[in-house]
């Protein structure tokens, strides 16, 4: 990671992170659902610079998604109800993966399912492909079942689904958790006990917006998932709680727009972060954030980003209390 600036040699910072099952060149991954299949961003960003890419959620078959309007802007946030429209596993392996080959950037596939069996079927299909680094199990999308229902709302369902996925999978499993619960730690622990290799959080917060002229919901599906800077404090609190309660690595996300935002997540215990909505606003956001993290480390004379993870200073009570 040595860089030569105009003033000559700059201090090198080791930004690499080790998730145990996967080593990343830096802690910044592009979050699922905001980065397409990666290819869309090729004109704007060097994909080789990213720590990893979590591609858009895949069901077994192509999926039509929800009716529009699918988006509503809110203060410092975005409410979406895309409904996981997508191309399915076959088109992904045949058309997308060959184009991502040779990138040397880990590709993590976000796995979806209408039923537990479908999650297993997606994993089983993708297992045959040697180009995928890990799976992120999407058990937390609020936009595909009524009233935002999803497996991640229940520790029991999380446990049984993660166990099934673990039995099927040949690759490491990251479990993406929902913030729409009263006790996220119990869901996190259920996933860990069932064999999860890592956790990623948070998915979007169930939300809505109303047009007062028409008195109708702004989204065709009434409710959607809130993302963006508006949710960062909630996400940070949950990542802090979960990181203090599990042994497996935690990947933090929720409203990260800058390197400083990312550093907050690392300090509360996330080993890596995912950048989501920022990619929509600024397709070069992930690379910029990596640069900003490095610059902060240089200024503070921190040699390894690893040294900052979980260094939150508390006066007395533990974070999880």
What is the spatial distance between Cα 3 and Cα 194, in angstroms, rounded to a whole number?
43
69 lies in the site for another protein, by CB under 8 A: yes
Structure tokens at 153: 């709302």
In sequence order, the 6+-apart residues with CB closer than 8 A to the CB of 172 are 19, 21, 22, 133, 134, 135, 197, 198
Hey, which residues between 255 and 314 contact another protein (CB under 8 A)? 257, 277, 279-284
Active site residue 297: no
Q: Is 316 exposed, middle or buried (0-12, 13-18, 19+ CB in 10 A)?
A: exposed
Which of 3, 95, 145, 216 contacts another protein by CB under 8 A?
216
DSSP SS3 for 52: strand
Separation of first and last alpha carbons in the chain: 39
204 lies in the site for another protein, by CB under 8 A: no
Which of 52, 77, 113, 148 contacts another protein by CB under 8 A?
77
State the Cα torsion 252-254-256-261 to the nearest 10°: -60
Task: Decide whether 175 or 231 has the Cβ nearer to another protein.
Answer: 231
> Which one of 80-88, 94-102, 115-123, 299-307 is the stretch in contact with another protein (CB under 8 A)?
80-88
72 lies in the site for another protein, by CB under 8 A: yes
Burial 213-232 (b: 16+ CB within 10 A, else e): eeeebbbebebbbbbbbbbb
Which of 27, 142, 172, 229 contacts another protein by CB under 8 A?
229
C-alpha distance from residue 90 to each of 60, 62, 215, 261 (Å) = 8, 9, 42, 36
Q: How far is the CB of 26 from another protein (least distance, A)?
A: 21
In sequence order, the 6+-apart residues with CB closer than 8 A to the CB of 51 are 17, 24, 25, 26, 27, 28, 29, 105, 106, 272, 290
Task: Decide whether 57 or 172 has the Cβ nearer to another protein.
Answer: 57
212 lies in the site for another protein, by CB under 8 A: no
73 lies in the site for another protein, by CB under 8 A: yes
The closest of 261, 200, 206 to 229, measured between CA atoms, is 261
Kindly determine how many residues on this chain lie close enough to bind another protein according to the rule CB under 8 A: 43
Q: How far is the CB of 86 from another protein (least distance, A)?
A: 8
> Which one of 40-48, 95-103, 125-133, 291-299 is the stretch in contact with another protein (CB under 8 A)?
40-48
Which of 44, 48, 303, 311 contacts another protein by CB under 8 A?
44
Distance of CA 14 to the CA centre of its chain: 22
DSSP SS3 for 213: coil
Distance of CA 210 to the CA centre of its chain: 28
Candidates 93, 112, 141, 297; catalytic one: 141
Which of 5, 8, 43, 318 contacts another protein by CB under 8 A?
43
Which of 19, 26, 35, 199 contacts another protein by CB under 8 A?
35
Q: Which parts of this chain interact with another protein (CB under 8 A)? A: 33-36, 40-41, 43-44, 56, 64-65, 67-73, 75-78, 80, 82, 85, 211, 213-214, 216-218, 220, 228-230, 257, 277, 279-284
Active site residues: 141
């Amino acid at each position: 990671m040595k860089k030569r600036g105009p003033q000559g040699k700059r201090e090198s910072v080791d930004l690499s992170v080790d998730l145990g099952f996967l080593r990343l060149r830096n802690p910044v991954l592009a979050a699922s659902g905001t980065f397409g299949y990666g290819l869309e961003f090729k004109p704007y960003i060097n994909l080789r610079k990213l720590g990893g890419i979590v591609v858009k959620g895949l069901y077994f078959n192509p999926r039509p998604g929800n009716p529009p309007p699918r988006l509503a802007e809110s203060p410092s946030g975005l409410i979406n109800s895309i409904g996981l429209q997508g191309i399915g596993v076959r088109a992904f392996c045949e058309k997308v993966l060959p184009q991502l080959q040779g990138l040397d950037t880990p590709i993590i596939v976000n796995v979806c399912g209408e039923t537990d069996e479908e999650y297993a079927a997606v994993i089983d299909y993708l297992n045959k492909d040697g180009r995928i680094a890990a799976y992120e199990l999407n058990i937390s999308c609020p936009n595909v079942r009524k009233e935002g229902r999803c497996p991640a709302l229940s520790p029991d369902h999380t446990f049984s689904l993660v166990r099934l996925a673990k039995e099927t999978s040949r690759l490491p499993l990251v479990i993406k958790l929902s913030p729409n619960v009263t006790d996220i730690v119990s869901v996190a622990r259920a996933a860990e006990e069932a064999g999860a290799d890592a956790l990623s959080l948070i998915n979007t917060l169930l939300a809505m917006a109303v047009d007062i002229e028409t008195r109708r919901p702004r989204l065709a599906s009434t409710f959607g998932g809130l993302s963006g800077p508006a949710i960062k404090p909630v996400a940070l609190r949950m990542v802090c709680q979960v990181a203090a309660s599990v042994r497996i690595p935690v990947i933090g996300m929720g409203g990260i727009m800058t390197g400083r935002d990312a550093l907050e997540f690392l300090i509360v215990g996330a080993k890596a972060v995912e950048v989501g909505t920022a990619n929509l606003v600024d397709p070069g956001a992930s690379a910029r954030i990596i640069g900003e993290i490095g610059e902060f480390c240089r200024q503070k004379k921190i040699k390894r980003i690893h040294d900052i993870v979980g260094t939150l200073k508390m006066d007395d009570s533990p974070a999880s209390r």
